Amino acid sequence: MNQPNQDLIASDINAYLSQHENKSLLRFITCGSVDDGKSTLIGRLLYESKVLFEDQLDAVASDSKKWGTQGKEMDFALLVDGLAAEREQGITIDVAYRFFATDNRKFIVADTPGHEQYTRNMVTGASTCDAAVILCDARQGVLTQTKRHSYLLSLLGIRNVVLAVNKMDLMKYDESVYTEIVESYQEFAKEIGLDNVTPIPMSALCGDNILARSPEMPWYHGPTLLSYLETAEVNDEFRRNAPFRLPVQWVNRPNLDFRGFAGSIASGTVKPGDTVRVQPSGKTSTVARIVTHDGDLSEAIAGQSVTLTLEDEIDVSRGDIISTTEEPASTADQFESTIVWMHDEPMHAGRPYWLKIGTKTVSVTITDIKHEVNVNTLEQTAAKQLELNAIGVCNINTDQPIAFDTFDENQETGSFILIDRVGNHTVGAGMLHFALRRSENIHMQATDVNKARRAELKGQKPAVVWFTGLSGAGKSTVANIVEKKLAAAGHHTYLLDGDNVRHGLNKDLGFTDSDRVENIRRIGEVAGLMVDAGMIVLTAFISPFRSERALARSIVGEGEFIEVFVETPLAIAEERDPKGLYKKARRGELKNFTGIDSPYEPPENAEILVDTGTLSAEQAAERVIAEMRKRGLLEG
Amino acid sequence: MNNPTTPIKALNERRLDAVRRRLDGASLAEVSHAVGLSVPTVVAAVKAYESDGWDGVAVKPRGRPAASSAVSKQQLAELRSELIQHVAVTNAVIESEHLWTTARVHEWLIEKGVKLSAATAGRHARAWGLAPASPAPNEKPAAGTERQRFITIAKREKRRLVWISSHTLTSGEASNILLCAHTARGLCLWTLLSEIDETRFLAFLTAVEAYVKTPLAPMVQLSRAIEKSWVTQWENRTNHTVLLLPAVVNTTTSNSTLTSTASSTMTANTTSTQASGSPLPALSTLTHLQRLEAESIHIMREVVAEAENPVMLYSIGKDSAVMLHLAVKAFYPAPPPFPLLHVDTTWKFQEMYKFRDQIAKELGFELLVHQNEEGIKQGVSPFTHGSELHTDILKTQGLKQALDKYEFDVAFGGARRDEEKSRAKERVFSFRTSAHRWEPKSQRPELWNLYNAKKRKGESIRVFPLSNWTELDIWQYIHQQSIPIVPLYFSDERPIVERDGQMIMVDDDRMPLLEGETPEMKRVRFRTLGCYPLTGAVESNATTLTDIIQEMLLATTSERQGRLIDHDTSASMEKKKQEGYF
């Protein structure tokens, strides 16, 4: 707090409060690599705005002696490096949020680390920001990472960008150094469509052009960093002028007379009497009231959390978007999108994930990775999977139509996250480009002879019995006995296994993780068709990943999928080694062999578990038949 | 049915009967049937009762009234302007003769030869705008609110509570300012001024003080006419504080603006389906507090929509108070759809327990209290086991037990990112393993406002809706919204011993006094609340919220300094959190 403020606080606290209750809020991110002075800049901002207390400064002073890199000087970076592990390593490893305020604004700073995991953390931090400060070391000029940060900011649609040419003190505050950097940067910025970049020469360590104009750089006439941040337009202001959207979070139904739709207004404004369209159903109605605890509103604007009631009793649920009828949100189930991958486990085309957009969560499959973008060179390369921190343009397919806008039109209703269906991690972030129109032209053909009729003809209940386990566990052996028993009882069966599939349908696939995912997806689909034909299908594949087994399960109906985990300790399977594959793998002649250098994810809730280490193949098969009988899939 | 020939007296008896029955809770149809009046007549009678009491229920004799027995509209208008001219003070001198009451208006009317009852004179005065309604709320202030503190202190100091408000009164082309002082017992003293300034305002207060013969405890409703600096002047002159009531836009909204939090929470529980009053005006942009409020509400609604069995952890502190207030707002008009859980170490301040039970009841929350019985049986106390062990057993372990016992899958906590360095990196939705551990290195990335609430059975999520609030935001919001807080935050005389450089309040006789320690009464308050043996007080004279904010802004040490547990080991909070502490 600067001095005049202290006086006002002391003399007239009420005046101070009324002034400070009406500040606006700006969120910004600082980007830069390890040595660009990012933490120093944030420490400086906190210091200049006097939000640090004596005890915090004392702690920093004592820490500076222990870990500081600035000699006897106060090391501002230590203020912002939080976790103990990081302090010891002298690096930051996650996104941290800092707070400070001036007389006009409150600021929330997202501080992201400048090394590995960078893309993930920066995208996370920037997603909620109104503005960004890209730090660039005056000694180094525009580096690859400066470009990478800029590209990510343009990808996320950040509107206000500062190019902070830092450490000018080390370049004797030379104007030509600054001009050269700015010129080369502007050229690149234009290339990636990043307009509205404001360059500022500064020294975070010495405080030049941070709060006060630097006497060392009289040649610079633009804003100081703080004066820029105090006046930059916040997203709310921008969003207010977009068409009205309210993703419904929660239906508020305290009694029979009240039915309100609670949510945060993503964009635009709304008044009682406005006609609205509910997407994806397309039904229309009129806004009756805007209910808040403080009283009904005559108008609500982007950013407010409100509850709407409608004139008509139409069906609205969580995940729907209430939008203006003039420019309603679109609906579709196939899209092109950019996806940023954020997890150690790579993204595979064909694998299903959860997709959360607005307040809606649906199942989604990545149908095609069109290309990967190299964040350093911006080159497009072909890819079958996206690794951690990779960015790709992908086609995706949701299992039901969703309401959306393109990310360019509306960041709130055009952005999504991807969630792993097994571990529930947030594994990706995406931005919708456009809907693929072909989705409108593919319809399911309703046939007169249906699954039930076909099953009736065969006098059996169709099902998939899915055997999974390590190579050599005995899947094929057990499945073969089960099929013989079923056939003997007059059932129409089919055993899908590696040989009859890999030699035909899937002969284009190898053994990488991506190919394994696609292999199992196709088998799941084939099994689904056969069940539809009324058959009992047995499959015997290693099928190492939970996600794909979950996908196969979701293709057939409830109760028609029986997962049989053929469990055998790796040592026993390796000892059996019927095809000699383990030996080859151990010798390094066979890559990506499950159990050796490729993972196997055991089922968590398999219907049947048979341990072929203790049971004979015949006993195991009996166990399976008994279980099928118990589940009502077999008579008697 | 209402027969036009029914004699007036019989009709009026029926009307009175109808009102009585209606007040007893009979339906309109039942009343109508029982007394033989039409439904609209019953409604009219009840309305008349509501606005004018029993006197208003009876209808006047039909036909043109005798000219002598009543005053015509024309006469009334003339009387009004004459009275206004008569009472308006044009110079800066205000003495007791310039103070008017409804009784004086009655006397003046009698002098003018208008014969009427005191009640009728009062009605005319009201209609003329000379007896505005008191800005005092009908409800008692909730415990811990600034108003409640103010009233308690005023009573202790034997000062008279008065509500001061100003109104504009127009008569013909002249526009005057009506300055009013309402006492708690319903007396309204007023002065009509052609203009207002600091001298006149202070003179009015002095005259009121002389009239009631007791030092005043004024509660001033700010308006365009009354400036804050005048109030400060009065405070300086009398050495007593004045409570400022928020300014109001116009008289129709004045009552709702002044309603305390307690009353607004009452409306939250009555799930009214009618729009109340006129709609609030549109906003042009959101202030930082409005943005923070909207974000917190968004977060709470996401949890309720996605969690199976959510709970709100309630620590009784100021952050919890804000969280409760936001929960009421988020689900209005429905009551918040989750219980409160207090993990009780049994070592909290007595005032905290009292406040906890009262506020949960007032806001309509189900309150669950969990104690680590095993720990308590073992006699774990901060005095014998040290703060670290005490916190771990009674708080951290107690919390885990409670979450397991009730199978809560999502728990709201009031932690803020500005509190402490390791908190600055925590997510809003903070995932915990089935052993309640926090894994700082495998946090889920959090993008846009898309929160991932998916989890497996046994796993849980801690959600921090106040993540982006700072301590100052919390205090400003409490001030702006009049949120009740535990009185311990305000300065008072309390028994204190000094130990290890901290001032500890002797809250009960479980505290063993060391040799040479005698509790001493000191004016202290608490910046943060926890177990009393672990919570250091600060010497302070801050008795109002604004005092507290002022003190905080001028302070030189950060908030958690008063909390002993953070000093235990370096990086201590991060360690505690990994183990499951909130």
Interchain contact A53–B (C-beta under 8 A): yes
Separation between Cα atoms, residue B443 and residue B452, nearest integer Å: 11
Q: Which residues fall within 8 angstroms of residue B534, CB to CB, at 6 or more apart?
A: B347, B382, B387, B390, B391, B563, B564, B565
Query: For residue range A170-186, what is the model confidence (pLDDT) as tens digits?
Result: 999 999 999 999 999 99
Q: Are A254 and B271 a contacting pair at CB < 8 A?
A: yes
- Single-letter amino acid, residue B153: I
Nearest CA in chain B to A80: B421
Q: Are B447 and A101 a contacting pair at CB < 8 A?
A: no
Nearest CA in chain B to A426: B444
Q: What pTM does this model have?
A: 0.69
CB < 8 Å to A56, chain B:
558
- Measure B352 CA to nearest chain A CA, in Å: 27
User: What 8-state DSSP symbol labels residue B253?
Assistant: H
Pairs of CB atoms within 8 A across A/B: 236
| The pLDDT value given to residue B306 | 94
| The pLDDT value given to residue A80 | 59
- Measure A326 CA to nearest chain B CA, in Å: 21
C-alpha R_g of chain B: 30
User: What 8-state DSSP symbol labels residue B186?
Assistant: S
Which range has highest mean pLDDT (A11-15, A397-401, B147-151, B450-454)? Answer: B450-454
| The pLDDT value given to residue A117 | 62
Q: How confident is the model at residue B155 (pLDDT cuts 50, 70, 90)?
A: confident
Q: Give the C-alpha distances (Å, rounded to integers) separating B75 from A449, B72, B102.
A: 93, 5, 19
Separation between Cα atoms, residue A299 and residue A272, nearest integer Å: 7
Separation between Cα atoms, residue A450 and residue B514, nearest integer Å: 86
Interchain contact A25–B (C-beta under 8 A): yes
The domains of chain A, with CATH numbers, are 3-233 (3.40.50.300), 239-324 (2.40.30.10), 330-440 (2.40.30.10), 451-630 (3.40.50.300)
| The pLDDT value given to residue B561 | 45
Q: In terms of Cα–Cα distance, which of A182, A152, A133 is closest to A31?
A: A133
Q: Are B271 and A258 a contacting pair at CB < 8 A?
A: yes
CB < 8 Å to B479, chain A:
17
| The pLDDT value given to residue B558 | 56
In this predicted structure, the answer to whether residue A519 has a pLDDT above a threshold of 80 is: yes
CB-side neighbour CA atoms (13 Å) of B378: 14
- Per-residue pLDDT, averaged over A360-364, amounts to 94
Q: Which residues fall within 8 angstroms of residue A222, CB to CB, at 6 or more apart?
A: A198, A199, A200
Q: What is the distance of C-alpha B262 from the center of its chain? A: 5
A262-271, A610-619, B244-253: the lowest-pLDDT one: B244-253
Separation between Cα atoms, residue A151 and residue A146, nearest integer Å: 9
Interchain contact A419–B (C-beta under 8 A): yes
Q: Residues 553-572, chain A: which have Cβ within 8 Å of B?
A: none
Query: For residue range B48-105, what is the model confidence (pLDDT) as tens digits?
Result: 887 777 777 877 654 444 444 467 778 888 888 888 888 888 777 888 888 888 888 8
Q: Is residue A330 within a helix (H) or strand (E), and if so which, with residue range?
A: strand A330-341
| The pLDDT value given to residue A177 | 95
C-alpha R_g of chain A: 30
Please check whether residue A421 is in contact with residue A354, taking contact to mean a CB–CB distance below 8 angstroms: yes
Separation between Cα atoms, residue B532 and residue B520, nearest integer Å: 16
Q: Is A227 a catalytic site residue?
A: no
CB < 8 Å to B449, chain A:
128, 264, 412
**Residues A39, A49, A415, A543: which is the catalytic one?**
A543
Nearest CB to A305: which of B283, B298, B574? B298
Burial B385-399 (b: 16+ CB within 10 A, else e): bebbebbbbbbbbbb
End-to-end C-alpha distance for chain B, whole angstroms: 68
Q: Are B450 and A424 a contacting pair at CB < 8 A?
A: no
| The pLDDT value given to residue A275 | 95
Nearest CB to B294: which of A289, A303, A359? A303
User: What 8-state DSSP symbol labels residue A117?
Assistant: B
Nearest CB to A293: which of B284, B329, B448? B329
Q: How confident is the model at residue B377 (pLDDT cuts 50, 70, 90)?
A: confident
Interchain contact A299–B (C-beta under 8 A): yes
Q: Residues 339-358, chain A: which have Cβ within 8 Å of B?
A: 342, 354, 356-358
Nearest CA in chain B to A360: B450
CB atoms within 10 A of CB A479: 26
- SS3 annotation, B346-403: CCECHHHHHHHHHHHHHHCCCEEEECCHHHHHCCCCHHHHHHHHHHHHHHHHHHHHHH
CB < 8 Å to A417, chain B:
447-448, 450, 452
Interchain contact A170–B (C-beta under 8 A): no
Q: Are B448 and A272 a contacting pair at CB < 8 A?
A: no
Q: Are A83 and B421 a contacting pair at CB < 8 A?
A: yes
Q: What is the distance of C-alpha A250 from the center of its chain? A: 22
Strands A536-540 and A463-468: parallel
Interchain contact A295–B (C-beta under 8 A): yes
| The pLDDT value given to residue A155 | 93
For A358-507, list the strands marked E by DSSP.
360-373, 380-381, 385-386, 391-404, 415-419, 426-435, 463-468, 493-497
Please check whether residue A352 is in contact with residue A547, taking contact to mean a CB–CB distance below 8 angstroms: yes
Residue B530 tokens read as: 């926890």
Q: What angle do CA B232, B235, B238 make, to 5 degrees?
A: 150
Q: Are A296 and B279 a contacting pair at CB < 8 A?
A: yes
In this predicted structure, the answer to whether residue A335 has a pLDDT above a threshold of 70 is: yes
Residue A541 tokens read as: 């594949």
Q: Are B445 and A342 a contacting pair at CB < 8 A?
A: yes
User: What 8-state DSSP symbol labels residue B511?
Assistant: S
Query: For residue range B539-557, what is the model confidence (pLDDT) as tens digits?
Result: 998 999 988 888 887 776 5
Q: How confident is the model at residue A3 (pLDDT cuts 50, 70, 90)?
A: very low
Beta-bridge mates of residue B111: none
CB atoms within 10 A of CB A411: 23
Q: Which residues fall within 8 angstroms of residue B465, CB to CB, at 6 or more apart?
A: B295, B296, B299, B300, B323, B326, B412, B414, B428
Separation between Cα atoms, residue A81 and residue A94, nearest integer Å: 10
Q: How confident is the model at residue B258 (pLDDT cuts 50, 70, 90)?
A: very low
- Measure A241 CA to nearest chain B CA, in Å: 12
Q: How confident is the model at residue A319 (pLDDT cuts 50, 70, 90)?
A: very high
Separation between Cα atoms, residue A60 and residue B173, nearest integer Å: 67
A356-360, A553-557, B537-541: the lowest-pLDDT one: A553-557
Give 3-state DSSP helix, strand, coil % of chain A, rounded to 5.
30, 30, 40
| Mutation target among A20, A152, A604 for the B interface, most CBs of B within 10 A | A20
- Measure B134 CA to nearest chain A CA, in Å: 22
Interchain contact A452–B (C-beta under 8 A): no
- Per-residue pLDDT, averaged over A212-226, amounts to 93
End-to-end C-alpha distance for chain A, whole angstroms: 83
Separation between Cα atoms, residue B37 and residue B14, nearest integer Å: 8
Q: Are A82 and B424 a contacting pair at CB < 8 A?
A: yes
Separation between Cα atoms, residue A420 and residue A345, nearest integer Å: 10
| The pLDDT value given to residue A337 | 96
Please check whether residue B539 is in contact with residue B522, taking contact to mean a CB–CB distance below 8 angstroms: yes
Separation between Cα atoms, residue A250 and residue A260, nearest integer Å: 8
CB < 8 Å to A260, chain B:
333
Q: Are B287 and A95 a contacting pair at CB < 8 A?
A: no
CB < 8 Å to A249, chain B:
298, 301-302, 305
In this predicted structure, the answer to whether residue A538 has a pLDDT above a threshold of 70 is: yes
Please check whether residue A91 is in contact with residue A118, taking contact to mean a CB–CB distance below 8 angstroms: no
Nearest CA in chain A to B232: A12
Q: How confident is the model at residue B144 (pLDDT cuts 50, 70, 90)?
A: low
Query: For residue range B500-514, what is the model confidence (pLDDT) as tens digits?
Result: 888 999 988 888 888
Q: Are A128 and B448 a contacting pair at CB < 8 A?
A: yes
Query: For residue range A428-485, what is the model confidence (pLDDT) as tens digits?
Result: 999 999 988 654 445 555 567 788 888 888 888 899 999 999 988 889 899 999 999 9
| The pLDDT value given to residue B579 | 60
Query: For residue range A96-121, what is the model confidence (pLDDT) as tens digits?
Result: 788 888 888 999 998 876 565 678 88
Q: Are B286 and A303 a contacting pair at CB < 8 A?
A: yes
